[in-house]
Amino acid sequence: MYRLRQGETDRRIARDLGMSRHTVSKYRQLAEEGGYLGNAAALPTEKELLARLGPDKAPPRTESTVAPYVEVVERLLSEGVEMAAMFARLRDDHGYRGSYSSVRRFIHQLQPNKPEVSTRVHSGPGEEAQVDFGPVGKLLDATEGVLKASYAFVMTLCFSRHQYAELVFDQKISTWIGCHRRAFETFGGYMRNGQGRVLGLLWVSVSSDVTSRRFDLSTSPSTSTIRCRTLLPEGLSCSGASRS
């Protein structure tokens, strides 16, 4: 319901939630009829939704040929037996005469795949920047005339999606901080939001499996830092913002 009110398409919602577009379309029609899509309208309670949706209609389903062996399948799953080996054991030890596809479908019903859920994070102008630092192969170092392992530093402003990119030959902390400073200089160092407040991109969180360090990149004594989000598990870090 929240995503419908934000104006997202049926296709996008269905893809993210792992359901049919027709199902999303039915919910959209229900929301329009109930007047729930307006931003000022109150959202329905769970009781109201259940009353509008009515009782669940279970689709007709033929019982799986693996159903009589459900206890055996659950025991083999708990032992970590793979599907192919499980099919062979059912066939050889328990007289199963069905197909491997039936076993695979039955196991997927017992252990359905959980769809990945993501949340879109909104930020205002100058509030946040996404940072990535990773290898890009070997490039020629013009100062030494040899090929060296190289890395790309990329900073993307979350609101405008403007980017700063720089190629370097190491991932030292001094290089990491220097890339941030040059990125801030390229972006002008700070920007103003709609209310005229100054927002400065100040510091970056460097995370690893062992430790996390903070580096103050502020050049203005009138600003203060705030913590930033770190995207896991990929380890992308976001430079924080500060209000003066």
pLDDT above 50 (res 159): yes
pLDDT at 212 over 70: no
| Percent of the chain surpassing pLDDT 90 | 30
Which has the higher per-residue pLDDT, 22 or 116?
A: 22
How many separate domains does the chain show?
3
Q: What is the mean pLDDT of the chain?
A: 76
123 within some domain: no
Taking only Cα atoms into account, the Rg of the chain, rounded to an integer number of angstroms, comes to 27
- Say if residue 139 is in the same domain as residue 185: yes
pLDDT reported for residue 134:
87
Show the domain range for 34: 2-53
Q: Identify whether residues 136 and 239 lie together within a single domain.
A: yes
First to last CA, the chain: 37
Residues 72, 155 within the same domain = no
| Residues 136 and 96 placed together within one structural domain of the fold | no
Token look-up 């705030």 returns 226
- Domain identity same for 137 and 233: yes
| Per-residue confidence (pLDDT) for residue 191, from 0 to 100 | 44
What is the pLDDT confidence band of residue 129, given thresholds at 50, 70 and 90? confident
Domain shared by 226 and 133, yes or no: yes
- Global confidence as pTM: 0.41
User: What's the pLDDT at 190?
Assistant: 56
**How confident is the model over 14-40, as pLDDT tens digits?**
988 888 999 899 888 888 888 888 877
C-alpha atoms less than 13 angstroms from C-alpha of 168 in its C-beta half-sphere: 19
